[in-house]
């Protein structure tokens, strides 16, 4: 399983064996821990991944880590910190530009900004990007157009992201953004790109409560 593979690579790294994919492994494990409800563990992995990516000067991993950490902070109801994390990532992307990747981590930032009521921040950033299917789906998420996002993720083949978009579309709780003083809790459905026949995580849900 993915979490066992990540654990093995991280154990090798701690034993002194160089593992260049350590930030990615930590982020994969962060998603799995989030889906299992282990928010402290997820935050620890995402934070470590961000530190490692920064130290190794790996901008793509750093952007991914900051987006994932922001999403976990939203899930933990730590809205002030999530806002600060989102602002930090936005500033980096505006200054440095976002590299083209597939899959693209822009969806994490879009989920965070939409939940925080800051969709216009993402839309302004998206206008400066080269359009890709991943970024089009993220822009739809930020705009609250979850049906379009689900359709785009289906075309891409990212079934967990598609399931997340469907769950947001069907959930009346997500029709209003979270504001300061509110708690947001979200389970992340996107652990890894999934293939045919692979089961989606059971904890794909998102609620926004006072």
Of how many residues is the chain composed?
Answer: 210
How would DSSP label each residue in 11-35?
HHHHTT---TTHHHHHHHHHHHHHH
User: What token pair was written down for 23?
Assistant: 């930030």
Q: Are 42 and 69 in contact (CB under 8 A)?
A: no
State the Cα torsion 91-95-100-103 to the nearest 10°.
-10
Domain spanning 2-209: CATH 1.25.40.10: yes
What average pLDDT does range 19-35 have in this prediction? 83
Task: Measure the CA–CA gap between 189 and 48, rounded to whole angstroms.
Answer: 21
- In tens, the pLDDT along 85-137 reads 999 999 998 888 776 666 678 999 999 999 999 999 998 888 888 889 999 99
Structure tokens at 20: 């260049």
Structure tokens at 148: 């379009």
DSSP 3-state of 188: coil
Nearest of 111, 99, 19, 30 to residue 65 by alpha carbon? 30
pLDDT value at residue 48? 93
- The C-alpha atoms of residue 114 and residue 21 are separated, in whole angstroms, by 30
For residue 197, the model assigns a pLDDT of 31
Per-residue pLDDT tens for 146-156?
999 999 999 99
How many angstroms separate the CA atoms of 179 and 189, rounded? 23
Q: Domain-by-domain residue ranges, the chain?
A: 2-209
Range among 9-23, 135-149, 166-180 with highest mean pLDDT value: 135-149
Q: Are 53 and 65 in contact (CB under 8 A)?
A: yes
Above 60 in pLDDT, residue 185?
no
Kindly state the percentage of the chain with pLDDT values over 90: 43
Question: Which has the closest alpha carbon to 111: 155, 158, 165, 154?
Answer: 165
The pTM (predicted TM-score) of the whole model is 0.75
């Amino acid at each position: 399983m993915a979490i066992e593979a990540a654990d093995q690579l991280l154990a090798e790294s701690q034993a002194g064996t160089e593992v260049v994919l350590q930030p990615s492994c930590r982020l994969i494990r962060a998603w799995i821990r989030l889906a299992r409800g282990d928010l402290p563990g997820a935050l620890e992995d995402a934070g470590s991944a961000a530190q490692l990516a920064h130290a190794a000067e790996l901008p793509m991993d750093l952007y991914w880590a900051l987006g994932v950490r922001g999403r976990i902070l939203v899930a933990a109801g730590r809205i002030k910190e999530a806002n600060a994390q989102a602002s930090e990532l936005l500033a980096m992307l505006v200054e440095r530009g976002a590299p083209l990747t597939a899959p693209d981590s822009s969806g994490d930032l879009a989920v965070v900004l939409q939940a925080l009521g800051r969709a216009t921040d993402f839309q302004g950033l998206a206008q400066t990007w080269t359009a890709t299917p991943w970024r089009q789906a993220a822009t739809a998420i930020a705009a609250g157009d979850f049906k379009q996002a689900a359709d785009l993720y289906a075309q891409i083949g990212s079934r967990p992201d598609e399931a997340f978009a469907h769950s947001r579309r069907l959930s009346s709780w997500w029709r209003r953004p979270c504001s300061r003083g509110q708690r947001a809790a979200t389970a992340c459905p996107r652990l890894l790109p999934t293939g045919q026949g692979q089961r989606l995580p059971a904890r794909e849900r998102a609620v926004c409560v006072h």
